[in-house]
Chain A
Amino acid sequence: MATTTATLALSSVDLLSDELALSTTCTLTKTTTATGVEDTTGLNRKKITSTAKGTASGQVTLYTADDFAAIPYLYIKNLATTAGHRIYVYDDTTTGDPIQFQLDAGDWGFIPMHGDKTYSAYASNNPTSIEFMVIGQDQ
């Protein structure tokens, strides 16, 4: 069985009056079991060239609905270095394509998803590079 872990560290020495040092680790497992997940899309790096929602050309599909069994874990990072160069991640399954996340330059996110929605991304600037990976259990 594979062992996949995700560790988060939140730290600051000057946000609070005392040092902030929060660290947590979770092992990615198949739903309701202690067995580790076995599949991944691998790490992807792509250029987003679309600057509008619903413009399929130039958008990047991060995850396709039901591609993995619940729970697929999504890691995303905006590789831009200029503030304001944002990546918009939206739900391409639900009517109206609601935006779920906005990542400014350098931002990253880690999201255990329900897995039943397709997520796509467009950007404020053409091109904007994104790095992403889904880890879970194929079905």
Chain B
Amino acid sequence: MATTTAAVTLTSDLLSDNMSVSASTTCMKAGTTADGLDMMEYGYIDIVTGDQFDLLGSDDSTGSLGNPVSGVMANKANKVYIKNHSTDETYYVSIMLDAQAIGKLYGGDWMFIPWSATDDDKDIEITASGGTNKICYALFHQGKTLVAS
């Protein structure tokens, strides 16, 4: 098994004392603490304004961006990282799950979520605003159904 660790640290001086919150998890396959996620997809792409795209498809169809990430096995322990690398602080991307807004990343912001791909409609969709946004994303998963050519 592969061992992949995701760790977050939140630090701030907005309270009367310094705040530092850390969390770390080993990315495991669904329903186990002994077998780690062993597959990964990674992308770095431009998102143009005007349309909503499938960034990651949960069904067996290829996403609008033509990326090969599709057919993620439903109800498994998928983890998604997305970062907006835009340097203009007025640019942002909206992240949606099955057409429901779940995140909004301005330039420099990132998100890390367990992706609840419970059915074929639970695509992760993305829309850019302000201008063309440069996005980096990673998907850690435990397998997918390949699409016959």
Give Cα A70 to B23, complex, Å. Answer: 24
Give Cα A105 to B106, complex, Å. Answer: 30
**Chain B at the A interface: mostly helix, strand, loop or mixed?**
strand
**Is A43 an interface residue when CB atoms closer than 8 A count as contact?**
yes
Q: How many of chain B's residues have a CB under 8 angstroms from any CB in A?
A: 54
Count how many pairs of residues, one from A and one from B, have CB atoms less than 8 Å apart in the complex.
173
Given A2-B14, A24-B83, A107-B25, A10–B103 Cβ distance below 8 Å? no
Q: Which of A5, A81, A117 meets B11, CB within 8 Å?
A: A5
Instruction: Identify which of residues 1-28 in chain A touch chain B, using a CB-to-CB cut-off of 8 Å.
Output: 2-16, 20, 22, 24, 26-28
Residue of A whose beta carbon sits closest to that of B30: A104
**Chain A at the B interface: mostly helix, strand, loop or mixed?**
strand
Binding site for A on B (CB under 8 A): 2-15, 19, 21, 23, 25-26, 28, 30-33, 36-38, 40, 77, 81, 83, 89-90, 94, 97-98, 100-106, 108-114, 116, 118, 138, 140
